[in-house]
A and B are shown apart, each in its own frame.
Chain A
């Protein structure tokens, strides 16, 4: 067996009440590209950030090449040969490409106390050429580059210390085809140089193609490790979800049931950087699924529908033709939006649960000029009980709640507002199974009440299990419309995605 590079033993990590990682162990050998897969919120990003020194562990032990390893920040990690590439923007806009690559590592270019920019830029040019980003100018300010080029700079930063362990955390979906090729080429380079790669993704096909072995995580717990040809998509998915795709988990019925002739919401010919001529109609009481790979443009379409992002052309309107331009107007017209990044956009963390819930419905609570606090508290407590949000009352701050309970607060917000149309972006992302089930039942009850839901999701079982109609998106276009029926299975849907 070749030498083990990374060894993790019963690692624990929890944020307040959420137990992100529990008793997790893992080994990655030399020259191995090891995948790490799991549903959103299964703890894979938390684990990788701990290995990269971005977060500290509550308990457990890490070893690199056999020696104990406890990084406090990215510098300690890169000294031990561990580097990380994340999904969000990892470069600072106001400084140059070279400065980003060598951030906090500028000492090595110091000659007589002065940074020698010539060698620094030369070195940056070299590493950029090595990773396939030779078209980038080391002196350019990062803000002037497009998203993909900025990601290449991050890859260069990670590859510069020719890492023993390169961690890629869901980066691929921020890259277009060319960028992805560069990434795979670098993974191969690390592999040949005797290093190892921890590749985190939830895109099945990419994982099977790139990784030698894969570990599956579910709700912070180690599930299994598959190697070589054991890695089959269906098997992986079952391990990921942890149960056969139980029938009653989602909707019991198999026919599309919605009021086909009353349209409540219409999007015509929406064009934007990642949406090309998207048009569809939403009917009363319908759950419309919007599926596809992470970067197929569905998330951006969701934001455009709610008026959050601008669009080149096209029109978003209700049945009676009133156009939706801004979120404030949308909310007034009864449209709700659940963002996929929950902590920063869907809910205000440093704010009490009650205030979060009543926020959109404040105008409706008003009796004349006066807005009784009693009414607010009643509405808040009423929805906290209805959704059984585990907390010590509606005065408590949202930041103290678990992921599932936070999502309940977001849902309570729009239920309190009695919004007729809900745009849900990855509604069950990073949520434990128990709450997922409640959310699905809630969606069903909303559907019965005649409300309509646009559900944007990257999880196949959820899309197939819940939607009356699925619009599969690929390369920013609606590729196929699939009606709900018992024969629909994942392979059929996936083929329109890839």
Chain B
């Protein structure tokens, strides 16, 4: 039994990324054959993976926060301003400072409002986007290349691994993670069992802000610069991370969220590179991701319907067998 389960887990993990990779390998062997591409893929996915890890707690508990993209960009802007005087520590300090302030504000507000967080987060996006613009007066700000070491090899891996382990522990082994899943599964039962919804939500918001700060540091260091994204344009950054979480949620029966998110984000980035290699306009990646997600959800829905059907048939069978037993006496 054990081997079969592990086998199922491995297949579920690797099926999506490998299928996509193979597809592009066939189409562009010389591009997808080289091993350095794996490295590029890894570098490009880090920022999104970390943001998606931060988002996963809120989304498992049933809330969708669209303003994390704007929060991350604000973190990178403030980090950039601090970097001018304090260097690299300035980047870290700036990003974390933003994370704390926004985290506190959001959790206080979430206690005051019990409305679908998705709608309120649109207002947050508007505010954070414009605050970012006013912080740097709209200029695009850069950091000197020696300040971008955090975006380079050893550090990105360290940040990713540490963030991954912390997320894995919080998700699988912490009481907080169990409470998020309980709230997401059936909110009334969880509350009746004594789980404090607001406390769990506040922790989820803080963790999300901290992870957004980490992803801001990497976003800034990789690009050696950043620019304010006003209005609702920062939503496109958060959608990329969210799609990763959606994919992970569908695979959660087979693999844990931490690995599921890596699978989701990396698969999407493979598609982006593939499209550029095929010299197709890379705006196609939106429709490929959208169609991909829609397909996954429809398949998932069909599977669930079939399982419900199986349970229904099993119940009928037990009734029929019981009947025969009574008839036999």
Contacts and interface: CB of A to CB of B under 8 A. Distances in A.
Is this pair of chains taken from one and the same complex? yes
A274 B182 contact: no
Nearest to A55: B192
A227 interface: no
Contact of A113 (B174, B186, B189): B174
Contact of B322 (A76, A310, A475): A475
Interface string A164-203: 0000000000000000000000000000000000000000
A117 interface: yes
B175 A110 contact: yes
Nearest to A103: B193
Nearest to A94: B185
A274 B185 contact: no
A274 B316 CA distance: 7
Given A92-B182, A93-B185, A75 B193 contact: yes
Contacts of A146: 311, 314-315
A73 B194 contact: yes
A312 B316 contact: yes
Nearest to A312: B316
A416 interface: no
Quick one: which of A106, A114, A271 has the most chain B CB within 10 A?
A: A106
Given A90-B189, A146-B311, A273-B316, A104 B179 contact: yes
A115 B315 contact: no
A160 interface: no
- The binding surface of chain B is classed by DSSP as helix
B316 A95 contact: no
Given A274-B319, A276-B323, A92 B185 contact: yes
B174 A99 contact: no
B316 A92 contact: no
B178 A115 contact: yes
Contacts of A497: none
**Chain A CB within 10 A, most for which of B173, B179, B191, B320:** B173
A93 B253 CA distance: 12
A414 to B, nearest CB: 29
B173 A117 contact: yes
A2 B245 CA distance: 58
B81 interface: no
Interface string B187-225: 001111111000000000000000000000000000000
A272 B182 contact: no
B178 A95 contact: yes
Nearest to B186: A92
Contacts of B312: 273, 310
Q: What size tier do the contact residues of chain A reach?
A: 35 or more
Given A90-B189, A115-B175, A117-B173, A95 B194 contact: no
Contacts of B189: 90-92
B328 interface: no
B326 interface: yes
B178 A76 contact: no
A117 B194 CA distance: 21
A383 interface: no
Interface in A271-288: 271-274, 276
B182 A114 contact: no
B169 interface: yes
A75 B195 CA distance: 9
A386 to B, nearest CB: 37
Contacts of A312: 316
A476 interface: yes
A94 B181 contact: yes
B174 A115 contact: yes
Contacts of A366: none
A438 interface: no
Contacts of B314: 146
Nearest to B314: A146
A72 B326 CA distance: 47
Given A99-B181, A117-B173, A475-B326, A104 B315 contact: no
Interface string A397-410: 00000000000000
Interface string B250-276: 000100000000000000000000000
B231 interface: no
Nearest to A274: B319
B193 A74 contact: yes
Nearest to A277: B323
Nearest to B311: A146
Top-5 shortest CB links A-B:
A73-B194, A273-B315, A75-B194, A94-B185, A92-B185
5 contacts: A74-B193, A75-B194, A92-B190, A117-B173, A274-B315
Given A92-B190, A99-B178, A103-B195, 19 more contacts: A54-B192, A75-B194, A76-B194, A91-B189, A92-B186, A94-B186, A99-B181, A103-B182, A104-B179, A104-B194, A113-B169, A113-B174, A115-B172, A115-B174, A143-B307, A144-B307, A146-B314, A475-B322, A475-B326
Interface of B: 169, 172-175, 178-179, 181-182, 184-186, 189-195, 253, 307, 311-312, 314-316, 318-320, 322-323, 326
